[in-house]
Amino acid sequence: MPPLESSQRRHAPGPLLSERLSGLTMRPTRLQIALTLAGAAVIFAIDTFAPLDIEIAVLYAVIVIASANLLERRGILIVCGVCMTQTILSFAIVHGGAFESGPALRILISLCAIGVATMSALWNREAAESLSAQAALLDLTHDAIFVRDRNDLITYWNAGAEELYGWRRKEALGRNASALLKTRYPPSAGGAEQFADQSRWQGELVHTRRDGGEVLVVSRWSVQRDESGRPIATMETNSDITEQKHAEDALHQARSQLEHVGRISTLGELTASIAHEVNQPLAAVVTNGEACLRWLLRDEPNLEEVRIAVERMIGNSRRAAEVITRLRAMARKANPTRVALTFSDIVADVIPLIEREMMSNDVALKLDLQAPAQIVLGDRVQLAQVVINLVVNAIQAMSETGDRPKILSIRSGVSPEDPEARMAVLQIEDTGPGIDPEIAKRLFNAFSTTKPGGMGMGLSICRTIVESHGGSIAADTGNRSGALFTIRLPLLR
Ligand code: ADP
C-alpha cells in the first residue's frame, strides 16, 4: 500500500466554479454580437419599412434576453435603451405626427415588454453574480469540498479538491466519488449508519489521490435537500490531516523513547541500592577471608573450615560480579553518541513534534534563539527528549490557567557570568501556575509529581541526561505566574 502523503500543489488550479457560473459574463464572441445586432436591425427594418398587423417590436424583448447571456449589467441597459429608441423611431417614421390610439397602445406594450425583459435579465444577472461570489468563497478555502448526488456521482468539485486529490474539476465531475477516491473508513467510524440517522457525519477517512498516494482527512458530511425536504445530494468537506498524524506518531515515538531513557536513567536512581547489593557480598568476602585466616593461623589449621570459608568467598564474589554484569548490560543500552550541536538544532528538531500539541492547547510559541555558533557536545536524541519533556510539562501546566494567555518562550544564549566558565544556556518558560511549593524542593527527584496519573520521572530523567553532559538544570520555583527551567551545558572550545 502506498504510504500516506500530504497534498502538494501539482496542478495549476482549473477553471473555478465562479468562472463557470459567470459563463453568463464570458466574453461574447464576434458571431454572437453580430447575430444580436443583425436581429435588432431586422426587427427595426420590418417594424419600420414592412409594417405588419402584429407588434413586431415585442421581439426586442428576445434581443434583450439574448444579450443578458453575453453582457454585463451596463451592456444590458444599453441594449434596452437601443431597443426602446428603435421602437420609438420606427413608430415616428411609420406614423409621423399623427396620433392613433391603436398603434400607440401597441408601442406601449412593446416598450413594457422590453422593460420587463430587461428587469428580469438584471435580476438573473444579480442572482448569478451572488451565486458566483459564494462559489468563489468555496474555491478560496483550502478544504477539499465536493458534492455527490444520491447515486454517489460528483456534481461539484472545488479548487481545494483539485489540489488535494489531483483531479481537475472537469475530470472529477460525473465520476463515482467512492470509486474515484477509494474511500476507506476506519473500523470504528460507523459513517453510513450515523449519517442515515442524523443527516450529518464527521470522522476520519482515508482517500486515495490521483497519483496513488493516500491522504488521511477529517471529513464532514451534510445532506442537501430540495424544497420538499427530500435529500438530493451530500456535501463533503475534507481537511488533510496526514501531516498532523505523522507529527502525532513522531511525538508518540519520541515519548516512548523518553520512557526508554527513563528506564536507563532509573540507573541513577538505583545507584544507592546497586551499591548496597555490591557492598553486601564484598563485606561477606572480607568476613569470610578473615575467618579463613583465623582457621589457618590456629596451631592445628582446620582445613575443612578454610575450604568452607573460601567457597563462601567465591560465591559472594560471583554475586558481586553478577550485579556488575547486569549493571553494565543496562548501561550499554544508553549508548549515547556525542556530536557538536547547538541548542537551535535541538529546538528545530523538537518544534515539529510539539506543534500540534501546542495548537490544540492554544499555546503561542515565542522563540528567541541566539548565536548559532554556541556549540556544545551532546547526544541529539537525548537532549531533544529533555526539551520535549520540559515543553510537554509546560503545555500541560498552562492547560489549567483558564483565560490567561498561554505563551511558551524558548530562549537560548550564553551565560555571561564567568568568562572562563561560560556555558550555553537554554531557557523554557511558560505562563502556567508555576511550580507547586509542595514539591519545589524535590522537583528533580524521581516520583515527584502533582499529576493524578503522573509518574514523576520526567524531570529526574532530564536532570540525569543534562548532568551526564556535564551540565546542570534548574527551575525557578518562587514564581507563581509561570515556571522557568534553565539548562546550562559547557561550550565546546
Ligand atoms: P510528571 O509530569 O509525570 O508529573 P515530571 O518530572 O515531568 O513528572 O514533573 C514533576 C512535577 O513537576 C509535575 O507533576 C508538576 O507538578 C511539576 N512541574 C513540572 N513542570 C512544570 C511546569 N512547567 N509548571 C508547573 N509545574 C511543573
Residue with CA closest to ligand 1 atom 27: 435
Cβ–ligand 1 distance for 430 under 6 Å, the answer yes
State in Å: Cα 417 to ligand 1 middle: 28
Ligand 1: atom nearest CA of 444 is 6
Residue 229: left if φ>0, alpha if ψ -120 to 50, beta else—which one? Answer: left
CATH value at residue 179: 3.30.450.20
State in Å: Cα 446 to ligand 1 middle: 11
* Together in a domain, 227 and 278: no
pLDDT at residue 9, rounded to an integer: 37
Cβ–ligand 1 distance for 394 under 6 Å, the answer yes
* Together in a domain, 131 and 177: no
**Length of the chain counted residue by residue:** 493
The answer to whether position 12 is within a domain reads: no
Considering 195, 218, 245, which residue would you say is the last residue of a domain?
245
Q: Closest Cα to residue 363, out of 336, 400, 334?
A: 400
374, 424 contact by CB (below 8 A) = yes
Probe ligand 1: pick from 430, 442, 459, max atoms within 8 Å of CB? 459
pLDDT at residue 47, rounded to an integer: 82
Number of domains in the chain: 3
Cβ–ligand 1 distance for 429 under 6 Å, the answer no
Cβ–ligand 1 distance for 435 under 6 Å, the answer yes
Ligand 1: atom nearest CA of 397 is 24
Q: Closest Cα to residue 266, out of 447, 387, 414?
A: 447
State in Å: Cα 220 to ligand 1 middle: 37
Cβ–ligand 1 distance for 395 under 6 Å, the answer no
Strands across the sheet containing 484-490 = 364-369, 407-414, 423-429, 484-490, 472-476
Dig out the grid coordinates for 388 from the structure.
520535549
Residue with CA closest to ligand 1 atom 21: 393
State in Å: Cα 484 to ligand 1 middle: 12
In order of 9, 166, 168, the CA distances from 12 in angstroms are 7, 10, 9
Q: Which domain holds residue 362?
A: 253-490
* Together in a domain, 123 and 188: no
Cβ–ligand 1 distance for 450 under 6 Å, the answer yes
Ligand 1: atom nearest CA of 459 is 6
Cβ–ligand 1 distance for 117 under 6 Å, the answer no
Q: What does the buried/exposed string (b/e) look like for 80-108 if buried means 16 or more CB atoms within 10 Å of the residue's CB? A: bebbbebbeebbeeeeeeeeeeeeeebbe
Cβ–ligand 1 distance for 482 under 6 Å, the answer no
Ligand 1: atom nearest CA of 428 is 23
* Together in a domain, 148 and 218: yes
CATH value at residue 273: 3.30.565.10
Q: How far apart are CA 78 and CA 100, in angstroms?
A: 29
pLDDT at residue 244, rounded to an integer: 85
pLDDT at residue 431, rounded to an integer: 94
pLDDT at residue 159, rounded to an integer: 92
Cβ–ligand 1 distance for 464 under 6 Å, the answer no
Ligand 1: atom nearest CA of 454 is 3
Ligand 1: atom nearest CA of 449 is 14
235, 147 contact by CB (below 8 A) = yes
Number of other CB atoms surrounding residue 266 within 10 Å = 16
* Together in a domain, 225 and 270: no
Considering 215, 245, 275, which residue would you say is the last residue of a domain?
245
Cβ–ligand 1 distance for 454 under 6 Å, the answer yes
CA angle (117 as vertex; 116, 122 as ends), nearest 5: 95
pLDDT one digit per residue (tens) for the chain, 493 residues:
344 444 443 333 344 444 444 444 455 677 877 888 888 888 888 888 876 667 787 888 888 888 877 788 888 898 899 999 988 888 888 877 666 777 788 888 888 999 999 998 888 888 777 777 777 778 888 899 999 998 999 999 999 999 999 999 999 999 999 999 998 876 555 555 556 666 788 888 899 999 999 999 999 988 888 888 888 889 999 999 988 888 887 777 776 666 656 555 544 544 544 565 677 778 889 988 999 999 999 988 889 999 998 998 998 888 778 767 655 654 554 456 788 899 998 898 788 767 767 887 889 999 998 866 678 888 887 788 789 889 989 998 998 887 889 999 999 988 876 666 788 999 999 999 999 988 998 999 877 888 887 777 788 888 988 998 999 999 997 777 899 999 999 988 6
Cβ–ligand 1 distance for 398 under 6 Å, the answer no
State in Å: Cα 327 to ligand 1 middle: 29
Cβ–ligand 1 distance for 397 under 6 Å, the answer yes
* Together in a domain, 232 and 276: no
* Together in a domain, 153 and 202: yes
* Together in a domain, 363 and 421: yes
State in Å: Cα 293 to ligand 1 middle: 56
The answer to whether position 337 is within a domain reads: yes
What are the residues whose beta carbons fall under 8 Å from the beta carbon of 272, sequence distance 6 or more?
none
Residue with CA closest to ligand 1 atom 19: 393
Write down the pTM of the prediction: 0.42
